[in-house]
């Protein structure tokens, strides 16, 4: 259990560093580039992010099956999955490169851009495309290392690279007046560095994980395909839900509006990533258990995981609901406070329900029963796209945000809990009542009371104090929500801690 605690803790530290970097760098990026250029940068990143769909969901299959084969001490099949995946990803990377060239040459025909020349934008797009091609090809290394539970090492690498890379970004923006072409080159260089480090980590694994043409097999490809086809649909859905919005805004409303939308979207996505930092460690464990048809521990993870994760992140939701607009105003400037603040509240209405069901997403992937999750998310993505296209011309960026929030609430309140409960053979109504309804009711009550107080914050120190008070309110709530066995453990830890302080 200790290694899983270290893995989750390192994931959180990695995210905290990423958030701190975003907090410092985002205002510099927007102010140095300007809203129009920043909007173009976000457009390029959003469009090229679709290249990761060529992963076809195989990376999820790599984590699942290598985890299972490690549990069975099956060296031969570990290498078969690794080699087959790497060969497949090489072919996909070549396709990505061709698509990058085509889109780079035609980017100007998709959007009205007058700030840069056609060649400048095309070269920037192509470099970002190469960066994602390399990430796609060698994501096999990343999936394999996750299957071996090397989260601590991966997170240390990410932290060091992120700090170094963004320090260079800040220097180039503030002192060299660099623009998006230079930023894309720096990004590519650090991707290459990270890839080489992952390669040497693979070589140091206790299993002899090596690529060999002899290990490439149709049977391994079939195994990967059977699992990954639905992971691919999930990935397509995620891209449609989270990245199509900025393209719609750029095409229908204008690139200058993207910045107001991107800032609150970044905030809620960081919260989601914090939850996934826990779940990513649990998926290999769930997969290993499913190899021996053990669902009892998975049922417990679903019931308790939903409740504890909801309560754990509720203070963050409360703070953002009640004073999120003020935080954005302090962080990005007063002109962001009202538009980005309103969008943040709309997002939070959807994400509140999503966060409670992310455990279900991880469980369905871990036990290989993610077919219905894929279909549900694809339906959500389609609904998101249709509502956003319908509302964008009338309500602008607020309409696009509403188009994201409404399907998110419907799917995570009504559909996904039912699917997961059915697969785990538990009563969905008891689950919703015991694990979901109580934390949601508490969140609504506390948020409503704080909004009615109409607190005005004037500095970050006041925001920290306000957030600390909310956390203190939630501490006893979290404690009394624990199961009796967890309460006993908490009591023993507290008595040991305070006893050692005397």
Q: What is the DSSP string of 94-149?
A: HHHHHHHHHHHHHHHHHS---SS-HHHHHHHHHHHHHHHHHHHHTHHHHHHHHHTT
Contact (Cβ atoms closer than 8 angstroms) between residue 325 and residue 386 = no
Beta-carbon neighbour count of residue 468 at 10 Å?
A: 11
Say whether pTM exceeds 0.95: no
Torsion over CA: 279, 283, 285, 290 (sign): positive
- Mind listing the pLDDT tens digit for each residue in 112-150? 677 778 888 889 889 988 988 888 888 888 888 888 878
Alpha carbon 319 to its chain centroid, in Å, reads 21
Q: How confident is the model at residue 328 (pLDDT cuts 50, 70, 90)?
A: very high
Q: How confident is the model at residue 355 (pLDDT cuts 50, 70, 90)?
A: confident
- Mind listing the pLDDT tens digit for each residue in 88-122? 888 888 888 888 888 888 877 777 677 778 888 88
Tell me how far CA of residue 183 lies from CA of 52, 168, 170, 431, in angstroms: 20, 9, 10, 48
Angle at 243 between CA 65 and CA 25, to 5 degrees: 100
- Mind listing the pLDDT tens digit for each residue in 35-53? 788 888 888 877 777 666 6
Q: Bigger pLDDT: 212 or 335? A: 335
Tell me how far CA of residue 376 lies from CA of 225, 238, 239, 251, 415, in angstroms: 20, 11, 14, 27, 7
Q: How confident is the model at residue 318 (pLDDT cuts 50, 70, 90)?
A: very high
Is it the case that residue 418 has pLDDT exceeding 70? yes
Residue boundaries of the structural domains of the chain: 1-242, 255-483
DSSP one-letter code for 412: I
What per-residue confidence (pLDDT) applies to 497? 44
Structure tokens at 70: 């490690």
Burial of residue 24 (CB within 10 Å: 0-12, 13-18, 19+) is: middle
Task: Give whichever of 66-80, 277-291, 294-308, 462-476 has the largest mean pLDDT.
Answer: 462-476
DSSP one-letter code for 368: T
Is it the case that residue 291 has pLDDT exceeding 70? no
Beta-carbon neighbour count of residue 385 at 10 Å?
A: 18
- Mind listing the pLDDT tens digit for each residue in 183-204? 899 999 999 999 999 999 888 8
């Amino acid at each position: 259990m200790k290694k899983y605690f270290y893995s989750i803790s390192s994931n959180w530290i990695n995210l905290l560093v990423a958030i701190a970097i975003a907090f410092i760098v985002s205002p510099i990026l927007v102010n140095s580039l300007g809203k129009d250029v920043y909007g173009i940068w976000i457009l390029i990143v959003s469009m090229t992010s679709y290249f990761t769909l060529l992963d076809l969901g195989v990376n999820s299959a790599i984590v699942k099956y290598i985890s299972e084969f490690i549990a069975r001490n099956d060296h031969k099949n570990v290498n078969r999955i690794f080699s087959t995946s790497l060969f497949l990803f090489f072919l996909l990377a070549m396709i990505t490169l061709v698509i990058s060239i085509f889109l780079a040459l035609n980017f100007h025909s998709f959007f009205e851009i007058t700030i840069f020349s056609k060649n400048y934008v095309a070269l920037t797009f192509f470099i970002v495309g190469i960066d994602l091609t390399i990430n796609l090809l060698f994501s096999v290394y990343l999936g394999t290392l996750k299957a071996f539970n090397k989260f601590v090492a991966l997170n240390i690498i990410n932290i060091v690279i992120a700090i170094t890379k963004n320090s260079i970004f800040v220097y180039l923006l503030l002192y060299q007046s660099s623009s998006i072409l230079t930023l894309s080159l720096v990004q590519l260089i650090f991707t290459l560095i990270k890839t080489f480090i992952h390669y040497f980590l693979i070589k140091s694994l206790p299993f002899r994980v090596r690529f060999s043409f002899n290990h490439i097999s149709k049977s391994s490809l079939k195994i990967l395909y059977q699992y990954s086809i639905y992971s691919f649909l999930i990935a397509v859905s995620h891209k449609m839900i989270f990245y199509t919005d900025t393209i719609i805004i750029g095409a229908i409303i204008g690139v200058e509006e993207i910045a107001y939308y991107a800032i609150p979207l970044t905030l809620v996505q960081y919260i989601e990533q914090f939850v996934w930092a826990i779940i990513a460690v649990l998926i290999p464990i769930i997969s290993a258990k499913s190899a021996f048809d053990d669902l009892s521990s998975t049922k417990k993870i679903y019931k308790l995981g939903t409740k504890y994760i909801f309560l754990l992140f509720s203070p963050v939701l409360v703070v953002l609901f009640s004073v999120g607009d003020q935080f954005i105003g302090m962080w990005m400037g007063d002109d962001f406070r009202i538009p980005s603040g309103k969008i943040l509240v709309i997002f939070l209405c959807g994400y509140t329900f999503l966060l409670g069901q992310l455990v279900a997403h991880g469980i369905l992937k871990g036990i290989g029963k993610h077919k219905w999750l894929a279909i549900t998310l694809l339906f959500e993505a389609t609904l998101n796209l249709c509502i956003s296209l319908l509302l964008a011309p009338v309500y602008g960026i607020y309409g696009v945000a509403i188009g994201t929030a409404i399907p998110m609430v419907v799917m995570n309140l009504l559909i996904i809990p039912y699917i997961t409960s059915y697969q785990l053979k538990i009563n969905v109504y008891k689950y919703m009542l015991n694990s979901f309804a109580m934390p949601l009711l508490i969140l609504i009550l506390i948020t409503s009371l704080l909004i009615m107080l109409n607190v005005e914050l004037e500095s970050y120190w006041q925001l920290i104090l306000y957030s600390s008070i909310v956390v203190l309110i939630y501490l006893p709530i979290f404690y009394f929500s624990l199961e009796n066995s967890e309460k006993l453990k908490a009591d023993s830890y507290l008595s040991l801690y305070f006893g050692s302080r005397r």
